[in-house]
Structure 1
């Protein structure tokens, strides 16, 4: 049997990039994946591709900044499939600005697409994850761990996500729920565009990765997500998994 056979998975920001890479990796292991995204055109196209692997998988359009609607995302998926096994909070948008230029609107964007949806979707998912002894996978970033310049709003929200993930791991471990974090460096569409726009900066970053490459969204990031969503990780919780080719080595 596949590692995630018939597990119901929600992935926010799942229509492209790392999110879709994880969706494909999980679907190939037997999961039923609901990709949640604000971009309907991309979402529908990704849904079609995903259903070739996992026919019951679906796309759900949702604006994660609509905070009042967040519980309805969980309810819609559970009503459709009857349960929830894995919640993956992957979506996040932010602007690159130095700290002195960050406005309240910039912080609202980063926290409104990243931290708040992560927090409130975890809350809404809790009753269902108790039933399945499920898994939560949240996302951090080297921007927060290393303090990258121009990433103040993004780093703040990412480190808030790491903090609440550790609290949830402590509070929800008694229910058999695992809460872990992935901090990736990935060869996503955004990174590919950045490489073309700023090749010198891209090469400078690449040169600092011990393994000499950016991770592949499905084969590298996706496979770690499969592990964290499976029974193989049942005794791991509250951990930040650095899926970054050795860029940051936690001590």
Structure 2
């Protein structure tokens, strides 16, 4: 019996990278996993691996920038599994670039796919999470980097998610819902692409991580989230947990 046996988890952006690693970790603890994202083939690959390991997972296609699709997705998940206990808001389109370079459209996309999508998904799930549910949203250490150049729009979107996380924790504690955020570094496809595009910056970046490595999507990020959504973290809410090898100083 795993620590999340028979819990029902909805994970966005679970077709690859960090979301996929979280899906593997939660399923390994007995959670039934709704694997949510835009690309059915990637979602099915995640589900197939979970089933190969003996877990339960189903794919649900959803564009997180369309409110109607979010509402429909949550309804489908609840109808399929009979409820919902865990929400992981991982998916987001990242607006990188300097302030004079990033277009309005790119910035708005970052906001729509980040804080707005996070808020919409939390609202859609709220009723189902009452009485012991847990939410994990995704922040970033980009806002507290040693040099925030080129990360302003991305950091702004992620800091908005942190603010929403804190507000939800305060407002929904009475409903028995815990809401926390994580700020991870993980060897995701996005991280690998950044390393290829900006090798010198990446090399300098790695030197600033006290543990000397980037986290593994399943073992380092997924397993930490197993703790966050489980009973052992039952008195933790409204917090941001840095899963970054000790790199950022949050103060």
Q: Distance in 1 between matches of 2:220 and 2:56?
A: 24
- How many residues are paired up? 250
RMSD: 1.4
Q: Counterparts in 2 of 1:77-88, with a 5 A limit?
A: 77-88=77-88
Divergent runs of 4+, >3 A: none
Q: Which residue of 2 aligns with 1:241?
A: 241
Given the alignment of the two structures, is residue 91 of structure 1 paired with residue 116 of structure 2, yes or no? Answer: no
Aligned match of 1:163: 163
Q: Secondary structure at the match of 1:33?
A: strand
- In structure 1, the gaps of 5 or more residues are none
SS in 1 for 2:6: coil
* Structure 1 position 153 matched with structure 2 position 147: no
Q: What is the aligned partner in structure 1 of residue 74 from structure 2?
A: 74
Gapped runs of 5+ residues in structure 2? Answer: none
**What is the CA deviation profile of residues 9-29 of structure 1, one whole-angstrom value per residue up to 9, with x for unaligned ones?**
001001100000000011101
1:224 is matched with which residue? 224
Give secondary structure in 2 for the equivalent of 1:36. strand
Moved more, 4-13 or 44-53: 44-53
CA distance in 2 between partners of 1:239 and 1:203 (Å): 30
Aligned to 1:119: 119
Give the drift of 1:54.
4.7
User: Cα–Cα, structure 1 residues 54 and 90, in superposed 2: closer, same or farther, change >3 Å?
Assistant: farther
> How many Å apart are 1:186 and its aligned residue?
0.9
In structure 2, distance between residues paired with 1:123 and 1:143: 26
Give the structure 1 partner of residue 174 of structure 2.
174
Determine if contact 1:142/1:148 at 8 Å carries over to the other structure: no
Aligned to 1:205: 205
- Is 1:139 aligned to residue 138 of structure 2? yes
TM-score (structure 2 length as normaliser): 0.95
Per-residue deviation, residues 57-113 of structure 1 (Å, max 9, x unmatched): 111111111122211111110011011000000001123221122222112210111
Return the alpha-carbon distance in structure 2 between the equivalents of residues 77 and 95 of structure 1.
30
Contact 2:182 2:240 in 1 (8 A): yes
Q: Find the aligned partners of 2:77 and 2:34 in 1 and give their Cα distance.
A: 7
What is the alpha-carbon distance in structure 2 between the residues aligned to residue 209 and residue 174 of structure 1? Answer: 38
2:7 maps to 7
